[in-house]
Each structure stands twice: as C-alpha cells, then as structure tokens.
Amino acid sequence: MTFTRTATDADVPFAEIPFEPDLLERLCRIDTDVVFFPVRHHSPVAARLVAELIVNRQPSAVLIEGPSDFNDHFHELLLEHDLPIAIYSYFRCQESHFGAYYPFCEYSPEWLALRQGNHAGAIVRFIDLPWAGVAQRDQGAHRYADAELRRGKYVRHLCERMQVEDFDDLWDKLIESQASISLEEYFRRVHAFCYHTRLWEQPIGDSDIRREAFMAEQIRLMRRQTNGQLLVVTGGFHSSALAARLDGYRCPGASDDEATSTTDKALPKIEDAGISLTSYSYSRLDNLTGYEAGMPNPGFYEHAWRQRQGAGEYSHQPLLVELVNELRDRRQTLSTADLIAVETTARALAALRGRFHVWRRDLIDAVTSSLIKDELEYGCQSPFVDAIHAVLRGKRRGRLAAGTRLPPLVHDIRHQLNEANLEAKQGVRSVTLDLLEAEDLSRSRLLHRLRILGIVGFERTGGTDFLNRADLTRLWEEWRVRWSQEFDSTCIEASRYGTSLADAAGAKLAERSQTLDRDAARAAELLVQAAQAGIETLSATLLQRLNDLIEEEPQFIGAAGALGHVLYLYFHDEAFGTNHSPQIARLLAVAFERSLWLLESIGQSSGNERVVLRGMQALLETCQRASGSSVAAIDRAEFVAVLQRVERDARKPAAVRGAAAGMLWTLGVADDEQILADLLIFTSPSDLGDFLAGLFALAREVAQRHAKLVQTIDRLINEFGADDFQASLPSLRLAFTYFTPREKHYMLTTLFESLGLKQVKPLEALHVDAVSAAQALAFEERVFEMIARFGLESPPESTDGAAHE
C-alpha cells in the first residue's frame, strides 16, 4: 500500500510541501546505527513488533518517548505491577497546578520496549522533555495521546479514500486487523502514514518542536556513549523530525532555528514538582470516557492481544458471551434470535470490509443495526450500545506493586486516617459525627479535606446544611467510608497541590476560586467549605480572591448571598472556629459595603424578591450585630441614609421599599406614623401584598404588636372589590407567611378587639382551599353586578306590605 499525494488531493499545492523520498527510505531501514520505531500509543501490533525487534537486533540502547525526569526511578517500572498503571508528573507554578499521565497497559509498545529492552541488557531511557517543560505550551493531561494523527487533513482525506468512518477505523484497517503483518511492511505503512500526516499538518506546534529538539539531543548523547545500535521508540508523528534533525534531511518543524526561537522563551518559575507511578484503569484509558485522543476500547485490544500472544487464533465470540452477561447484569434480555442476528451481521460486515475475522467496528455496528429497533433521538442512550461499549472497554483496574515510591501527601493522608480511625477497609461503614465534640470535629475536618481534593471512598451522606442553614438545632454529619481501588491513585493525583493535607486542600480551594468569574455567592460557599475543612485551609491567596470576587460582584443578590454566609461564620459559627476571626471580619466588611452599594441599583421587579429580602435581612443583622464588634468599617449613618433613599425611590419594587421601611422601623429611625403613611402609598391590589411582604420580613417583631397597622390593612382590604381581592390574595398570603401561627392569631385577636368584637363566634370549618373560596367570592360578586345592571333585584317591601310595581 503506497501513500502518495497529487496536486489535486487538497487545496495546498504539492510544490509547497518539502517531500523527501530519501527521508522516508531512511526511516524504513533497520540496519542503521539508529532505528526509528514509529508507534501509535497502546497499539498491540506495535507492541508485538517492537518486542520482536529487540529480541532479534539486540540494540545497545532503547530510547523511549516518555518523561526523562523519571529515569532516576526507572527501576520502579520493573516491579510486579498489575497493569494498567501510569507515570504521573505534576508541578506547581505560582498559583496554578498541573498534572499529566503517561499510561501503560500490557499491550502498550512503550511498556514492551522498556521491559524487553531491560531483559535484553540494553540501556533503557526515557528521552522526552519533563512535563514541566511542556505544559506552558501544551497542557494536554494524557501524554500518550495521538491527537496529531487523528486531527489532520491528511487523515480525513485518507478516510474518504479508504471508505472508513474515522482515524480509529483507518488504523484498524491498515494495522491492527493485520495479524501477520511483517516488521518491514509495518515500517513502510506507518512511517509513510505519519510522515505524510506531518507534511499536511504545517505549521508544526511549538510544543512538538521543543520536545523533538530535546529528544534529538538525547539521542546524540547516547550515540556518543555507546557503540551499538540505538532503537528509538516514539510516536510516529515525531520519527521523521528526529531522523531529519540527526541526519540532515528536510522536514517541517525540524529546523534548529525553529527550535531555538521556540525554546528561548522565558518560563514561569516552578515552585514545586514531583513524579511518581499511579494506578490506572481501562475506563480512564478509553477515549469514550475521557481519553480524548487514544486507542478506544482497551478491553477489545487486550482480548485480541492475549489471544494472539497465546499462539491461538483470534475469535470475537468470547466477546459476544461477555455481551450477553453484561446485558443480563443490566436487566436486558437478548434472545437467541437476536444473538444470531448480531453474529450474522458482524460476519457480513467484516466480509464487506475485506476482513477475514470480525473486528471492533463490526461488532459495534452489528449490535446497533440488529438490536436497536427504533430510531435513537440525539443525545439519547441505548442499553445495547452502552453494553457493547462496556464490554469493549473492559473493567481492568491497575494496582501498584509493594515498594513503589509514593508522594509525601499520600503518606500524610494515610497517617491522618489511621490516627482518626477512618481508614477505608473492605466493606462500607457509616460514621456519625457531633461537631460540638472536639474529636469528632477534627475527624470532620479531615474528611472535608479529602472531599475537597476528590479522594474517593469518603462521602458525606447527611447532616447539618451549613449553606442553607434551615435547621441549626443540631450540628452533626454522617459520612460513608468505603474502600476503593481508586484511593491511592486519587491521593497521588492530588499531590500536585501540596505535600500536606491541609496545604493541598487550601491550594485546591484557591485554584477553584480562580475559576469563578464575578460570582460572590459561589465564592462565599468556598469560604464555608474552607471553614468546614479547618481554618488552616484559609490561605492568603484564597482570602484575597474571595475579597476580589465580592468587590467585583455586579448583582445585589450575589453580594448579599455572600454576606449571608460570611455573617453566619463570623457571628454564629459554634463549630468551625471562624467566630470573630479577624480574617472573616475583613470579608464581612467588604461584603456589607458592596451589598449596600448595590442595593440602590435594584430596579423593577424581577421575580426574585424573596431572595432580595433575605439579602436585606443579612444587611440589617450585620448592622445590628456590628455594634461593639471588630467590624469597624460598617457606618450606621451611611446605612440609614441608603435605606431612606431606597424607601423614597419610586423606581424600586414595592417589596424592596417595604423592606427598607421595615429596616428603618426596626432601627428606630422611622416612627409609626411614617410607616402608616408609606402603607397608604401602596393601596393598589398589585402593590399592597408586596409592600407588606417586605415590611413584615424586616420588621416582624414591631409589626405584629402595632394595632393601628393591622386596622389599616383590614380597612384597605375591605375596600377591594371581589376581583381586586382575588388579584391581591397571593401576595397577601405570601406576606403573612413571615409570621408564625401564634403571631397571626395574636394579630387577629388584636384586630377583633379593636373592632369591638371581643366575643367572636367560632367560624365554620371551610372545606375548600383559600384560592377556591376567593374565586367563588369573585364569581358571586360578578353575578350580583349583572343582576343589578339588568334590574333583576328583588323589589324592596313597602311599609304597608304592598309590593312596588
């Protein structure tokens, strides 16, 4: 199979592409001092051939694309791990934290190269730039991806020519499904494919140029140190550039000038870095669930790898057995007829595609066409498609061998869990904590820190809601602790945030705060999380970021929501240690000032008055409690002046003006007569209930004891017609929900007494809801109006008993 290009193949003239036939010929040779083995990461065929090449050629050194800063710990890869595992590289740069993975499974060519090379007595080294040198230009977290190959115009063009769906199918057709492909043919196909992909992909990215310059230098160093043959195992996209740099050929991105201009750029200072092994899983390796640009369906390729390694014939039928079992686990039925249909269709598709055996795409398409009877809507899932992907994905999870070096954070987490008797063991246990007990509070902080870092196995299942604070009569939590295979890997991944648990949790919160954009309420929720994890997690960076977010908040609701959280932590916290903390006091002052400033910017009604009223309640409580506290920045005179302007502003919603009046009344600034005068401004059915809702929300204690206010409300409601009363009823009912049943009874008794109704006859029980009663009253009123309009009233009786005519 030959890969060539004509002038009509694309919109780029062929003359502009520096095609070097000699370079391609050089790449395909295996008798030179440096052999370039091109791989697609996690390719079983590449893994088999690279192992055979090492056995047959016995190179003096095997140089592999991988993080060169792991070379000092290379012996750890030779331990008896259960694959898949990954090298995890991480570093901290200013306030940013970066991490990347180099995954290995049992059929990864890099894994076979390093194991077989070590067995053959060769020098084995990783030659790629350390992750810290790559991340500023390429922050892809999965370093053994093949994005360069799958995204190019050449690949799309070739898929059209060979009538396949995508790059994965193209690779399967050219390489993976060819069980007996020779090394020479593999080199010819893969080098030609990758070289042409590079030619079509100009300009080459800065990250690739920088990495290739570094790898080429590592090869030169090894050339000088050894006399034998060198085997260079890298992604096929890089092979042509490395050969060009070493042997003087032309290739896009292989110029020393390009490399110099790229590598001379200044890099931010790295404050902390580390690298270690971590366990991995097929679910993470699979590009269907997160491995965006790698070999899909690792369970399928492991199946093919193991069958071929066992000197047996590849067969897809064990996968069909797994499919039946998977569907049974999902409570889905697959009849014998359905299974026959899948088998027949898969074989037919394989034959149509020129294969002698059923391959990955054939199975997926056979299940889709045979088992899905109805059209799938966009975004909908099918249990059959999900099941076949689960089977092809595989369930394998890796485990590190005993003696593997672990980052300091992992040891700190294990030590603290052991001290707190919270180690996750086999099975599930429930832990209930009383947050007013010192020992339980310490355990709670530990669990919240693990939760912030995403350490699996620890789940909060119940307890006091410190965000909504609906019930604070009991301060408690309930956690579910369970063992998970992902525990070690999530601990290792969290190591990029720090070496101790408290520092790492604080750094993670600070990083999370950087993702918030002008959202003060969400920022204050982070503050509550930090308080739950212990005041030690409140780093200066986090506090400054929260301060900035509150100062930049454009909406009153957001700023006042933040104020509510900070207010609770500063004045009411009994458990977390934030009560009257100077750090929280500064945030409280900032949140109060911003909320007060934004209060005057509130416009007409937007349907969220209840939330606005809660924010105004937070303002009032902060002002009341700030007297005598360390929150010196709160100016009562300025607060009163703002409330007076809001109360008089006709552009403000009735509920907000009512709340401002209630706040002034509560503070003793407004007298009873002023409140009654304000009430008479809002006598329309659409405004009365809203004004009272604001008034009652902020002056509940004063309002319920004011007989004249209750009488005035009664008079205004009695003046409504039936339709007006029905229109005002929802907002009136909402306004009176601010009172307890006892308080409403007291107000009603006060009204009856003021009307001289001291002996009130008990009302008959109403067997319909209030809305239905109001609708019936309005209907009755309209009937009476119609009777009066058409003169149908009963004539009044005369004094002498005769009726008027």
The three-point CA angle 715-718-723 to 5° equals 140
Task: Report the pLDDT value the prediction gives residue 804, as an integer from 0 to 100.
Answer: 40
Q: Enter the DSSP assignment of 804.
A: P
Is residue 800 over pLDDT 50?
A: no
Within 13 A of 59's CA, how many CA atoms are on the CB side?
Answer: 32
Query: pLDDT by residue (tens digit) across 469-486?
Result: 888 889 999 999 999 988
92 within 8 A of 507, measured Cβ to Cβ: yes
Which amino acid is located at 177 in the chain?
S
Count H helices and E strands in the chain, helices first. 35, 10
Higher-pLDDT residue of 103 and 383 is 103
At residue 669 the predicted structure's pLDDT band, cuts being 50, 70 and 90, is very high
Which of 91-100, 123-132, 342-351, 777-786 is predicted least confidently?
777-786
Q: What is the mean pLDDT of residues 507-520?
A: 86
Query: pLDDT by residue (tens digit) across 140-195?
Result: 777 888 777 776 788 888 999 999 988 999 999 999 998 889 999 999 999 999 99
Is residue 375 over pLDDT 70?
A: no
513 within 8 A of 545, measured Cβ to Cβ: yes
Instruction: For residue 426, give both structure tokens.
Output: 């086999």
Cα Rg of the chain, angstroms: 37
Instruction: For residue 512, give both structure tokens.
Output: 């999370």
Q: Which of 138, 145, 214, 149 is nearest to 175 (CA)?
A: 149
Query: pLDDT by residue (tens digit) across 27-46?
Result: 999 999 999 999 999 999 99
Q: What is the mean pLDDT of residues 524-550?
A: 87
Task: Report the pLDDT value the prediction gives residue 629, as an integer from 0 to 100.
Answer: 65
From CA 718, how far away is CA 725, in angstroms rounded? 8
Cβ within 8 Å of residue 581, ≥6 positions away: 535, 569, 570
Cβ within 8 Å of residue 734, ≥6 positions away: 689, 693
At residue 223 the predicted structure's pLDDT band, cuts being 50, 70 and 90, is very high
Q: What is the mean pLDDT of residues 358-374?
A: 88
- The residues with which 35 forms a beta bridge, in sequence order, are 231
Higher-pLDDT residue of 25 and 270 is 25
Which of 90-104, 237-251, 662-676 is predicted least confidently?
90-104
Cis peptide before 103 (omega within 30 of 0): no
Instruction: For residue 741, give both structure tokens.
Output: 């049943």
- Local structure of 574: helix, strand or coil: coil
Q: Which of 123, 5, 19 is nearest to 74 (CA)?
A: 123
Higher-pLDDT residue of 805 and 710 is 710
At residue 74 the predicted structure's pLDDT band, cuts being 50, 70 and 90, is very high
Which of 19-23, 108-112, 553-557, 689-693 is predicted least confidently?
19-23
Q: Which of 155, 140, 134, 261 is nearest to 199 (CA)?
A: 155
Give the C-alpha distances (Å, rounded to integers) separating 681 from 62, 650, 674, 746: 88, 10, 11, 26
- The residues with which 61 forms a beta bridge, in sequence order, are 123, 230
Task: Report the pLDDT value the prediction gives residue 276, as an integer from 0 to 100.
Answer: 94
Q: Which of 31, 59, 479 is nearest to 230 (CA)?
A: 59
Task: Report the pLDDT value the prediction gives residue 13, as an integer from 0 to 100.
Answer: 37
The crossing angle, in degrees rounded to 10, of helices 582-599 and 540-552 is 10
Task: Report the pLDDT value the prediction gives residue 256, as an integer from 0 to 100.
Answer: 59
From CA 299, how far away is CA 564, in angstroms rounded? 51
165 within 8 A of 5, measured Cβ to Cβ: no
Is residue 98 over pLDDT 80?
A: yes
144 within 8 A of 231, measured Cβ to Cβ: no
From CA 504, how far away is CA 62, in angstroms rounded? 38
Task: Report the pLDDT value the prediction gives residue 268, as an integer from 0 to 100.
Answer: 62
Alpha helical stretches, state H, 535-671: 540-552, 556-567, 582-599, 609-626, 636-648, 654-666
Burial profile 555-565: b = 16 or more Cβ within 10 angstroms, e = fewer: bbbbbbbbbbb
Q: Which of 558, 514, 3 is nearest to 240 (CA)?
A: 3
Cβ within 8 Å of residue 45, ≥6 positions away: 175, 176, 178, 181, 186
Query: pLDDT by residue (tens digit) across 275-305?
Result: 999 999 998 888 644 335 578 899 999 999 9
Alpha helical stretches, state H, 420-486: 438-453
Q: Are strands 272-279 and 123-128 parallel, antiparallel or unpaired?
A: unpaired
Across 66-70, 322-326, 502-506, which has the greatest mean pLDDT?
66-70
φ, ψ for residue 671 (rounded to 5)?
-95, 180
Cβ within 8 Å of residue 504, ≥6 positions away: 409, 449, 453, 494, 495, 497, 498
The three-point CA angle 645-646-652 to 5° equals 135
Q: Which helix (H) or strand (E) holds 481?
A: strand 476-482
Q: Enter the DSSP assignment of 151.
A: S
Instruction: For residue 546, give both structure tokens.
Output: 């929260």
